[in-house]
Amino acid sequence: MKPHNFSIEFFPPKTVEGTEKLRVTRAKLATLNPKYFSVTFGAGGTTQQGTLDTVVEIRREGFDAAPHLSCVGGTRESIRTILREYQAHDIRRLVALRGDLPSGYGMGGEFRYAAELVEFIRAETGNWFHIEVAAYPEMHPQARSPQDDLSNFVRKINAGADAAITQYFYNADAYFRFVEEAQKLGVTAPIVAGIMPITNSSQLQRFSEMCGAEIPRWIRLKLNSYGDDNASIKAFGLDVVTSMCERLLQGGAPGLHFYSLNQAAATTAIWERLV
Ligand code: FAD
């Protein structure tokens, strides 16, 4: 089953070669006809221009695009300036986040949480933007408890978010439970499942550790058993992630958001397998 609500995430390239490579990736992924592409935003504004440039380029190619906007380290004035710039480019979608500054930077800035950013965006720009926020079926790593994290998520929706995209996960049950609990608290906004294709074992395990996504033991053991055999890792990853996408869609997930890491092959392979 192929979902109508299907989006693909990129990060803004830092080099000329990266920009060129992303153009090639994008041309391949454009043939899948996603609803929109999104482009991440380095916390503290480190990729501000790169994010905007990439979004503008995607829109020029005829696709909808959403810049991410993280508020950590930002001031009301700096965020206001970014919002005006996005409006001047007629950008209508945003993914609103708190972000994480590198350790040692503290939090800084005038916003503590993404809910405050959403509230500010609505106060400044009314309904101009369609706003997505982040959701964590396996709990955000800094949350006090799953219940607390869920209440904080509901707060973001009540502050004016239209929809949510989850952190990636490999436990479909965690997603279904999170959605059910959010709905019991009155959330009607779609909660789109974030999908991380598995293409590399050590990088995925390192990254998952940081962002609090669990790799189930049986998946981790299988990946470890393949060692440097990248072809087997990719084939296994494709099977596992495609099956999970099918289960999510059959269970009512309103859409899929692919963390492409600026690569076309894995997202395309999963998409083509979804019938
Ligand atoms: P919040 O919703 O503010 O939550 C952060 C933590 O604070 C949670 O533990 C929450 O439970 C807690 N909390 C919230 N409100 C309160 C409150 N009132 N009192 C006490 N505790 C509270 N990062 C980037 O830097 N750039 C990106 O482009 C980016 N894109 C992302 C896209 C998606 C789809 C996802 C899932 C994550 C993305 N991230 C990005 C990572 C994200 O910034 C981090 O996970 C960050 O740590 C939390 O951001 P948030 O918006 O979920 O924060």
Predicted ipTM of the assembly: 0.99
- Residue nearest (by alpha carbon) to ligand 1 atom 46: 99
- pLDDT > 90? residue 50: yes
Give the integer Cα–Cα distance in Å for 260 and 29. Answer: 10
- pLDDT > 80? residue 36: yes
Range of the domain at 131: 5-273
- pLDDT > 80? residue 132: yes
- pLDDT > 80? residue 45: no
Our count of domains for the chain comes to 1
- pLDDT > 90? residue 247: yes
Residue 145: C-alpha distances to residues 12, 86, 141, 180 (Å) = 33, 35, 9, 17
Is the Cβ atom of 200 under 6 angstroms away from ligand 1?
no
Q: What percent of the chain has pLDDT over 70?
A: 97
| The residue to which tokens 């695009």 are assigned | 65
Given pLDDT bands bounded at 50, 70 and 90, which one contains residue 1? confident
Residues 255, 5: contact at Cβ < 8 Å? yes
Per the structure block, which two tokens stand in for 135?
């959701």
Q: Is 29 helix (H, G, I), strand (E, B) or coil?
A: helix
| The residue to which tokens 């074992």 are assigned | 201
156 closest CA partner among 93, 198, 112? 112
Average pLDDT estimate for 232-251: 98
- Residue nearest (by alpha carbon) to ligand 1 atom 40: 99
Given pLDDT bands bounded at 50, 70 and 90, which one contains residue 104? low
Is the Cβ atom of 207 under 6 angstroms away from ligand 1?
no
Give the integer Cα–Cα distance in Å for 50 and 31. Answer: 24
The overall pTM is greater than 0.95: yes
Is the Cβ atom of 194 under 6 angstroms away from ligand 1?
yes
pLDDT at 122: 98
Amino acid at 2: K
Question: Mean pLDDT over all residues of the chain?
Answer: 95
- 6-10 and 65-70 beta bridge pairing: unpaired
pLDDT at 101: 73
What is the CATH number for 91? Answer: 3.20.20.220
Residues 67, 94: contact at Cβ < 8 Å? yes
Is the Cβ atom of 43 under 6 angstroms away from ligand 1?
yes
Given pLDDT bands bounded at 50, 70 and 90, which one contains residue 217? very high
Per the structure block, which two tokens stand in for 262?
């600026």
- pLDDT > 90? residue 117: yes
Does residue 9 have an active-site annotation?
yes
| The residue to which tokens 């790593």 are assigned | 141
- Catalytic residue selected from 9, 119, 132, 138: 9
